[in-house]
Amino acid sequence: MDITADMVKELRERTGIGMMECKRALEEAGGDQEKAIEVLRKKGYARAADKADRTTREGRIGAYIHTNGRIGVMVEVNCETDFVSENEEFLELVKNIAMHIAASAPKYIAPADVPADVLDKEREIVREQFKDSKKPAEIVEKIVEGKLSKFYEETCLLEQPFIKDDKMKVKDLITQFISKFKENTKVGRFVRYQITK
């Protein structure tokens, strides 16, 4: 049976587990969603969403300086325990996120962090582009929301395609870590410096 992107997306939304794990589970389960969930559970994956409200008081600050010395990043990534924060895979996660920030220059962590006035301005710009198009208002609003999704992908760290694997977003990378280590993990804050000519 062919495993479609929609099937993978549905399982990912139901479980909060990364796309590749969901695809493999669906392949193993012959496309059956419930069996795929069972496969994931047997492999030890927990719903990442179940961990989202747990307090993250531990973590690491990671730094990355691009080879030309003109871009530098510091990022705080939080988890629940010092045991996990000292794990090699956690340190690798922090390093990968810092490297991603250096390469992709996000402005915010998540869509919820984008100030309302910035969103209002984006909406206004898109509406202005379509004011003479004679499209119905509800269609224009759908276009506006679609453009906002693209805006989030360009400006929000968690929504950006991960630089080492553009089939997943940065939030998927973090979700995979949460599923494996059973701890809430999140980006606390970051700063990116760049020397411009």
Q: Which domains does the chain carry?
A: 5-45 (1.10.8.10), 51-110+156-194 (3.30.479.20), 115-154 (no CATH)
Across 136-159, average pLDDT: 89
SS3 category, 47: coil
Burial of 101 (0-12, 13-18, 19+ CB in 10 A): buried
pLDDT band at 13, cuts 50/70/90? confident
SS3 category, 37: helix
- Distance, in Å, from the CA atom of 25 to the CA atom of 28, rounded to the nearest integer, reads 5
- Check whether 142 has a pLDDT greater than 90: no
Q: What is the pLDDT of residue 96?
A: 97
pLDDT band at 107, cuts 50/70/90? very high
- Distance, in Å, from the CA atom of 187 to the CA atom of 79, rounded to the nearest integer, reads 9
Across 48-68, average pLDDT: 77
- Check whether 53 has a pLDDT greater than 70: no
DSSP line for 126-178: HHHHTTTS---HHHHHHHHHHHHHHHHHHHBGGGSEETTEEEEEHHHHHHHHH
Pairing of strands 161-162, 186-194: unpaired
pTM listed for this prediction: 0.70
Across 147-160, average pLDDT: 94
Q: What is the pLDDT of residue 6?
A: 87
If you average pLDDT over every residue of the chain, what do you get? 87
Across 5-31, average pLDDT: 82
Across 159-188, average pLDDT: 91
- Check whether 109 has a pLDDT greater than 60: yes
For residue 102, the surrounding DSSP H or E stretch is helix 88-104
Q: What is the pLDDT of residue 183?
A: 85
pLDDT band at 159, cuts 50/70/90? very high
Pairing of strands 58-65, 71-79: antiparallel
